[in-house]
Amino acid sequence: MTRTAVVTGGGTGIGRAIAETLVEQGLNVTITGRRKEVLEETATAIGARAVAFDAADPAAVEGALTELPDRVDVLVNNAGGNAARRRPPVADGDLAGVRELWLAQYEQNVISAVLVTTALTPRLADDGRVILFGSIAGTRGSGGYGAAKAAVHNMAADLAARLGSRRITVNAVAPGLVEDTEFFGGTLTQERREWLISQAFNGRAATPGDVAATVAFLASPSAGHITGQVIHVNGGALLAR
Protein backbone atom coordinates (compact mmCIF):
# COMPACT_ATOMS: atom_id res chain seq x y z
CA MET A 1 0.00 0.00 0.00
CA THR A 2 1.32 3.49 -0.85
CA ARG A 3 2.31 5.37 2.30
CA THR A 4 0.77 8.80 2.80
CA ALA A 5 2.39 11.90 4.27
CA VAL A 6 1.13 15.29 5.44
CA VAL A 7 3.77 18.04 5.55
CA THR A 8 2.67 21.28 7.19
CA GLY A 9 4.36 24.40 5.87
CA GLY A 10 5.19 22.37 2.76
CA GLY A 11 4.89 25.26 0.30
CA THR A 12 8.31 26.77 1.00
CA GLY A 13 11.79 26.19 2.37
CA ILE A 14 12.47 23.09 4.44
CA GLY A 15 8.88 21.80 4.17
CA ARG A 16 9.00 21.95 0.40
CA ALA A 17 12.28 20.01 0.34
CA ILE A 18 10.81 17.39 2.68
CA ALA A 19 7.68 17.03 0.57
CA GLU A 20 9.72 16.74 -2.61
CA THR A 21 11.96 14.05 -1.07
CA LEU A 22 8.98 12.03 0.17
CA VAL A 23 7.31 12.27 -3.26
CA GLU A 24 10.54 11.01 -4.84
CA GLN A 25 10.47 8.09 -2.41
CA GLY A 26 6.99 7.14 -3.66
CA LEU A 27 4.80 8.53 -0.87
CA ASN A 28 1.48 10.19 -1.55
CA VAL A 29 2.14 13.66 -0.11
CA THR A 30 -0.23 16.44 0.99
CA ILE A 31 1.30 19.83 1.76
CA THR A 32 -0.39 22.49 3.87
CA GLY A 33 0.11 26.17 4.67
CA ARG A 34 -1.88 29.40 4.81
CA ARG A 35 -1.10 30.80 1.36
CA LYS A 36 -3.14 28.86 -1.19
CA GLU A 37 -1.31 30.19 -4.28
CA VAL A 38 2.14 29.36 -2.89
CA LEU A 39 0.98 25.87 -1.94
CA GLU A 40 -0.62 25.16 -5.29
CA GLU A 41 2.45 26.30 -7.20
CA THR A 42 4.68 24.01 -5.12
CA ALA A 43 2.23 21.12 -5.27
CA THR A 44 2.16 21.30 -9.07
CA ALA A 45 5.95 21.54 -9.28
CA ILE A 46 6.70 18.55 -7.04
CA GLY A 47 3.68 16.28 -7.56
CA ALA A 48 1.93 16.73 -4.20
CA ARG A 49 -1.62 17.71 -3.15
CA ALA A 50 -2.26 21.12 -1.57
CA VAL A 51 -4.66 21.89 1.30
CA ALA A 52 -4.61 25.49 2.59
CA PHE A 53 -5.41 26.26 6.22
CA ASP A 54 -3.98 28.03 9.26
CA ALA A 55 -2.54 25.29 11.46
CA ALA A 56 -2.79 27.47 14.58
CA ASP A 57 -6.56 28.01 14.21
CA PRO A 58 -8.67 25.16 15.66
CA ALA A 59 -11.67 25.86 13.42
CA ALA A 60 -9.47 25.97 10.33
CA VAL A 61 -7.79 22.67 11.23
CA GLU A 62 -11.16 21.03 11.85
CA GLY A 63 -12.49 22.45 8.58
CA ALA A 64 -9.53 21.00 6.64
CA LEU A 65 -10.02 17.46 7.93
CA THR A 66 -12.33 16.42 5.09
CA GLU A 67 -9.56 17.27 2.62
CA LEU A 68 -6.76 15.52 4.49
CA PRO A 69 -6.00 11.82 3.96
CA ASP A 70 -8.04 9.21 5.90
CA ARG A 71 -4.85 7.35 6.81
CA VAL A 72 -1.62 9.16 7.62
CA ASP A 73 1.63 7.19 7.73
CA VAL A 74 3.90 10.21 8.12
CA LEU A 75 2.99 13.54 9.73
CA VAL A 76 5.64 16.27 9.48
CA ASN A 77 4.77 19.29 11.63
CA ASN A 78 7.21 21.62 9.91
CA ALA A 79 5.05 24.81 9.94
CA GLY A 80 6.57 27.48 12.14
CA GLY A 81 8.59 30.62 12.17
CA ASN A 82 9.77 33.52 14.27
CA ALA A 83 7.24 36.37 14.44
CA ALA A 84 10.06 38.64 15.67
CA ARG A 85 11.43 38.50 12.10
CA ARG A 86 8.17 39.82 10.69
CA ARG A 87 7.50 42.87 12.87
CA PRO A 88 9.31 45.89 14.38
CA PRO A 89 11.21 45.22 17.63
CA VAL A 90 9.22 45.50 20.84
CA ALA A 91 10.10 48.78 22.64
CA ASP A 92 11.83 48.54 26.02
CA GLY A 93 9.25 48.22 28.78
CA ASP A 94 6.35 47.47 26.42
CA LEU A 95 4.95 44.53 28.36
CA ALA A 96 1.84 44.21 26.21
CA GLY A 97 4.12 44.02 23.16
CA VAL A 98 6.28 41.34 24.79
CA ARG A 99 3.19 39.32 25.66
CA GLU A 100 1.82 39.58 22.14
CA LEU A 101 5.12 38.55 20.54
CA TRP A 102 5.72 35.55 22.83
CA LEU A 103 2.14 34.35 22.34
CA ALA A 104 2.51 34.67 18.55
CA GLN A 105 5.73 32.65 18.67
CA TYR A 106 4.10 29.98 20.84
CA GLU A 107 1.03 29.84 18.65
CA GLN A 108 2.94 29.52 15.39
CA ASN A 109 5.36 26.84 16.59
CA VAL A 110 3.64 24.92 19.38
CA ILE A 111 -0.12 25.34 18.94
CA SER A 112 0.12 24.63 15.20
CA ALA A 113 1.85 21.29 15.88
CA VAL A 114 -0.46 20.36 18.77
CA LEU A 115 -3.64 21.08 16.82
CA VAL A 116 -2.66 19.25 13.65
CA THR A 117 -1.25 16.27 15.57
CA THR A 118 -4.31 16.03 17.81
CA ALA A 119 -6.68 16.25 14.85
CA LEU A 120 -4.78 13.58 12.89
CA THR A 121 -3.92 11.18 15.72
CA PRO A 122 -6.97 8.96 15.08
CA ARG A 123 -5.85 8.69 11.43
CA LEU A 124 -2.22 7.84 12.17
CA ALA A 125 -1.38 4.36 10.94
CA ASP A 126 0.11 1.87 13.41
CA ASP A 127 3.88 2.07 12.85
CA GLY A 128 3.35 5.68 11.75
CA ARG A 129 5.86 8.49 12.05
CA VAL A 130 5.39 11.95 13.57
CA ILE A 131 8.13 14.52 13.11
CA LEU A 132 8.04 17.82 14.98
CA PHE A 133 10.12 20.91 14.24
CA GLY A 134 12.35 22.20 16.98
CA SER A 135 15.48 24.29 16.55
CA ILE A 136 18.98 24.81 17.87
CA ALA A 137 17.31 27.85 19.48
CA GLY A 138 15.21 25.46 21.57
CA THR A 139 18.40 24.39 23.36
CA ARG A 140 20.61 27.50 23.14
CA GLY A 141 17.80 30.00 23.74
CA SER A 142 16.44 32.80 21.57
CA GLY A 143 13.67 34.76 23.33
CA GLY A 144 10.11 33.59 22.85
CA TYR A 145 11.03 31.69 19.68
CA GLY A 146 13.61 29.57 21.50
CA ALA A 147 11.21 29.00 24.39
CA ALA A 148 8.53 27.82 21.95
CA LYS A 149 10.95 25.44 20.24
CA ALA A 150 11.99 24.07 23.66
CA ALA A 151 8.32 23.31 24.23
CA VAL A 152 8.26 21.45 20.92
CA HIS A 153 11.26 19.35 22.04
CA ASN A 154 9.31 18.54 25.20
CA MET A 155 6.24 17.56 23.17
CA ALA A 156 8.27 14.90 21.37
CA ALA A 157 8.94 13.07 24.64
CA ASP A 158 5.32 13.14 25.76
CA LEU A 159 3.79 12.19 22.41
CA ALA A 160 6.33 9.41 21.90
CA ALA A 161 5.29 7.89 25.24
CA ARG A 162 1.59 8.19 24.44
CA LEU A 163 1.76 6.75 20.91
CA GLY A 164 4.45 4.13 21.48
CA SER A 165 2.03 1.25 22.06
CA ARG A 166 0.91 1.70 18.43
CA ARG A 167 4.58 1.58 17.35
CA ILE A 168 4.25 5.20 16.22
CA THR A 169 7.52 7.11 16.62
CA VAL A 170 7.66 10.81 17.47
CA ASN A 171 10.85 12.83 17.12
CA ALA A 172 11.77 16.50 16.89
CA VAL A 173 14.23 17.62 14.24
CA ALA A 174 16.18 20.68 15.41
CA PRO A 175 18.03 22.52 12.62
CA GLY A 176 20.70 25.17 13.04
CA LEU A 177 21.00 27.84 10.36
CA VAL A 178 19.21 26.75 7.17
CA GLU A 179 19.49 28.98 4.12
CA ASP A 180 17.23 29.31 1.06
CA THR A 181 13.98 29.47 3.04
CA GLU A 182 11.63 32.33 3.92
CA PHE A 183 12.48 32.06 7.63
CA PHE A 184 14.54 35.23 8.02
CA GLY A 185 12.48 37.29 5.57
CA GLY A 186 15.59 39.26 4.57
CA THR A 187 16.44 40.21 8.19
CA LEU A 188 19.64 38.17 8.60
CA THR A 189 22.62 40.54 8.52
CA GLN A 190 25.84 39.45 6.84
CA GLU A 191 27.65 39.75 10.17
CA ARG A 192 25.18 37.51 12.00
CA ARG A 193 25.17 35.02 9.10
CA GLU A 194 28.97 34.74 9.18
CA TRP A 195 28.92 34.28 12.96
CA LEU A 196 26.30 31.52 12.74
CA ILE A 197 28.27 29.74 10.01
CA SER A 198 31.49 30.06 12.02
CA GLN A 199 29.81 28.06 14.81
CA ALA A 200 29.39 24.99 12.59
CA PHE A 201 32.37 22.58 12.63
CA ASN A 202 31.99 22.09 8.87
CA GLY A 203 31.89 25.86 8.27
CA ARG A 204 28.61 26.02 6.39
CA ALA A 205 24.88 26.57 6.77
CA ALA A 206 22.44 23.72 6.16
CA THR A 207 20.48 23.45 2.94
CA PRO A 208 16.79 22.50 3.10
CA GLY A 209 17.93 19.20 1.54
CA ASP A 210 20.15 18.41 4.56
CA VAL A 211 17.13 18.65 6.83
CA ALA A 212 14.84 16.83 4.38
CA ALA A 213 17.24 13.86 4.25
CA THR A 214 17.14 13.57 8.05
CA VAL A 215 13.35 13.78 8.09
CA ALA A 216 13.08 11.20 5.31
CA PHE A 217 15.17 8.77 7.38
CA LEU A 218 13.08 9.32 10.52
CA ALA A 219 9.94 8.89 8.38
CA SER A 220 11.16 5.59 6.92
CA PRO A 221 10.17 2.11 8.13
CA SER A 222 13.83 1.52 9.13
CA ALA A 223 13.70 4.21 11.84
CA GLY A 224 11.18 2.34 13.99
CA HIS A 225 13.34 2.21 17.13
CA ILE A 226 14.16 5.93 17.30
CA THR A 227 11.52 7.79 19.28
CA GLY A 228 11.17 10.65 21.74
CA GLN A 229 14.44 12.20 20.54
CA VAL A 230 15.60 15.63 19.47
CA ILE A 231 17.73 15.14 16.37
CA HIS A 232 20.04 18.09 15.78
CA VAL A 233 21.05 19.03 12.23
CA ASN A 234 23.56 21.87 12.58
CA GLY A 235 27.08 20.84 11.51
CA GLY A 236 28.02 20.64 15.19
CA ALA A 237 27.09 24.25 15.97
CA LEU A 238 25.31 23.22 19.18
CA LEU A 239 28.73 22.23 20.55
CA ALA A 240 30.54 25.33 19.30
CA ARG A 241 33.46 26.54 21.40
Ligand X SMILES: NC(=O)c1ccc[n+]([C@@H]2O[C@H](COP(=O)([O-])OP(=O)(O)OC[C@H]3O[C@@H](n4cnc5c(N)ncnc54)[C@H](OP(=O)(O)O)[C@@H]3O)[C@@H](O)[C@H]2O)c1
Active-site residue set: 145
Site residues for ligand X, window 97-156 (CB under 6 A)? 108, 112, 133, 135
Buried b (16+ CB within 10 A) or exposed e, 230-240: bbbbbbebeeb
Q: Report which of 232, 170, 212, 210 is spatially closest to residue 22, judged by C-alpha positions.
A: 212
Beta bridge partners of 7: 31, 76
The verdict on 171 binding ligand X (CB under 6 A) reads no
The verdict on 35 binding ligand X (CB under 6 A) reads yes
Minimum distance of ligand X from residue 197's CB (angstroms): 11
Stretch that binds ligand X, among 18-26, 33-41, 213-221, 223-231 (CB under 6 A): 33-41
Stretch that binds ligand X, among 62-70, 75-83, 95-103, 217-225 (CB under 6 A): 75-83
Q: Report which of 235, 93, 95 is spatially closest to residue 178, judged by C-alpha positions.
A: 235
From residue 240, give the alpha-carbon distance in Å to each of 35, 116, 140, 161, 197. 37, 34, 11, 31, 11
Q: From the list 22, 55, 72, 170, which residue makes contact with ligand X (rule: CB under 6 A)?
A: 55
Number of helices and strands in the chain (H, E): 9, 7
The verdict on 175 binding ligand X (CB under 6 A) reads yes
Instruction: Provide the binding-site residues for ligand X, judged by CB under 6 A.
Output: 8-9, 11-15, 33-35, 38, 54-56, 78-81, 108, 112, 133, 135, 175, 177-178, 181-183
